[in-house]
Amino acid sequence: MEQTNTETSVANDKRPIVVIDKVVRSYKVKKQTIPAINGISLSINEGEFVVLNGSSGSGKSTLLQLIGGLDKPDSGNITIDGVDIKKLSDHKLSLFRGKTIGFVFQFFYLQPFLRLGRNIEVPGMFTRLKRKERKLRVKQLAEIVGLSDRLNHFPAELSGGQIQRAAIVRALLNQPKILLADEPTGNLDSTNSAAIIDLFEQIRQQFGTTIIVATHDPNIAARADRIITLKDGAII
Ligand SMILES: Nc1ncnc2c1ncn2[C@@H]1O[C@H](COP(=O)(O)OP(=O)(O)OP(=O)(O)O)[C@@H](O)[C@H]1O
Ligand SMILES: [Mg+2]
């Protein structure tokens, strides 16, 4: 059937890369059941830049963990790049995740005992990328974030903004189709936050990466294609 709604036909030009269908997730703490995601359905297109917002406890981090296959829904389906992730074995899921998804999580810092270059290289070791290719990608990614001259430094020798930029390019080492970030500017000042937002824009333009960011930062939301607001585990 022909689409007459302009918004829908624009959306149809692109392939959906994340499809969430009636997903429910609750946490059991002692005898209490805490609902975190209450039946969310959502589709995100390849190359889209989406912001998840909503008050604390609304379910943003839980939804990111589910999209990233780090957590499993109680019910409902999640299809990532055409793959129903529920059907993958743990081993296949972790490989799929390593290749398809890059994570920048709030408390997921660099390894303090590894030099910056090594830190950025680590995701490529998990996916068995050849050493030469890993080194080449580290070099290219460090250039993007202006850290080429700091690759031999330890994280403790870098600023908070530099560390966060490095954590973002580390998440890109395997050239993932999807980048997930949880409060990536949470502890940064406005100059460093602006640099992170520019970096997302650049990543999207250069690599066509789908970017999903959970954030309260209105400056990130201002640059997104779409803002999805959660309340009590549902989209409002
Ligand atoms: N590991 C857990 N065990 C029990 N309850 C949890 C757990 N993780 C999250 N929750 C609960 O699930 C709900 C959603 O939490 P979530 O962390 O997804 O919210 P959020 O939107 O990311 O909040 P914030 O903005 O504070 O990061 C909350 O009620 C929270 O208390
Ligand atoms: Mg959170």
Say how many Å lie between the CA of residue 170 and the centre of ligand 2: 21
Atom of ligand 1 nearest to the CA of 106: 27
In the chain the first and final C-alpha atoms are separated, in Å, by 29
Atom of ligand 1 nearest to the CA of 63: 18
The pLDDT assigned to 109 comes to 74
Residue 116 is assigned to a structural domain of this protein: yes
Closest C-alpha to ligand 1, atom 29: 57
Say how many Å lie between the CA of residue 33 and the centre of ligand 1: 12
Residue 12 is assigned to a structural domain of this protein: no
Confidence of residue 108 (pLDDT cuts 50, 70, 90): low
The chain-wide mean pLDDT, for the chain, equals 91
Own/partner long-range contacts of 90-98 (Cβ < 8 Å, ≥24 apart):
93/69, 95/127, 96/69, 97/68, 97/69, 97/70, 98/123, 98/126, 98/127, 98/174
Residue 185 is assigned to a structural domain of this protein: yes
Give the CATH number of the domain where residue 196 resides.
3.40.50.300
Confidence of residue 186 (pLDDT cuts 50, 70, 90): confident
Residue 33 is assigned to a structural domain of this protein: no
Tell me which of 91-95, 103-107, 169-173 is least confident.
103-107
Considering every ligand atom, which ligand is closest to the CA of 63? 1
Residue 25 is assigned to a structural domain of this protein: no
What residue numbers bound the domain in which 164 lies?
A: 46-73+82-235
Closest C-alpha to ligand 1, atom 3: 27
Residue 21 is assigned to a structural domain of this protein: no
User: Domain count of the chain?
Assistant: 1
The pLDDT assigned to 9 comes to 43
Confidence of residue 189 (pLDDT cuts 50, 70, 90): confident
Look up tokens 């430094």; give the residue.
Answer: 153
> 7, exposed or middle or buried, with CB in 10 Å at 0-12, 13-18, 19+?
exposed
Phi-psi region of 32 (alpha: psi -120 to 50; beta: other; left: phi over 0): beta
Residue 14 is assigned to a structural domain of this protein: no
Residue 7 is assigned to a structural domain of this protein: no
